[in-house]
Amino acid sequence: MKSTLKPALFFDRDGVVNVSPGAGYVTSVEDFHLMPGIAEVLAWGKTKGFFLVLVTSQQGVGKGLMTQETLDAIHAHLQETLAREGASFDLIRSCTHLAGSCDCRKPSPQMILDAASILPINLAASALVGDHDRDIQMARNAGLAFAVRLASDNPVSETGDVLAHSILEVWTALKNWEAKQA
């Protein structure tokens, strides 16, 4: 009997899917700007049969810098924007808690494990793209097959399987990895 599980591509949000707000937070739809080229990467993932899952830490909600409703509006705007490109996410998982007050903050694999309890995801055949050490650690903790680290202003201790310096390099890394899986 053939397995019904499918691989997923997991993406961090700030600094990967959208332009990083720097040390602060994206607290409004007006401040949310897609990273150039990311819609094409996501659309490619869809055509290859991957689930697309956003896994994002949004502590700004826990700090009271924005409401859950504002975060939901930002994510609705993201999905609407990506849908026009054929690239919307199948699932969005957010940790909005303050550090030390939950079990889902990165590098915990909980957001990924939650996604796999909702969608039929084969974690051992899945990949993650992130721009922080905790993203790569989360991928490893969840048992993902592949992790791409997008270089950013964040210090790099965890490079993942590939250290990319642009969205084009991320896409190339994912294409090369996917071709080896086929």
Please identify every residue annotated as catalytic.
12, 14
Side-chain half-sphere exposure of 75, counting CA atoms within 13 A: 20
Q: Cα Rg for the chain, rounded, in angstroms?
A: 15
Bridge partners of 91, per DSSP, are: 53
Do 55 and 91 contact (CB within 8 A), yes or no? no
CA distance 46 to 137: 25
Do 9 and 129 contact (CB within 8 A), yes or no? yes
Do 18 and 74 contact (CB within 8 A), yes or no? no
- Residue 11 DSSP SS3: strand
- Residue 177 DSSP SS3: helix
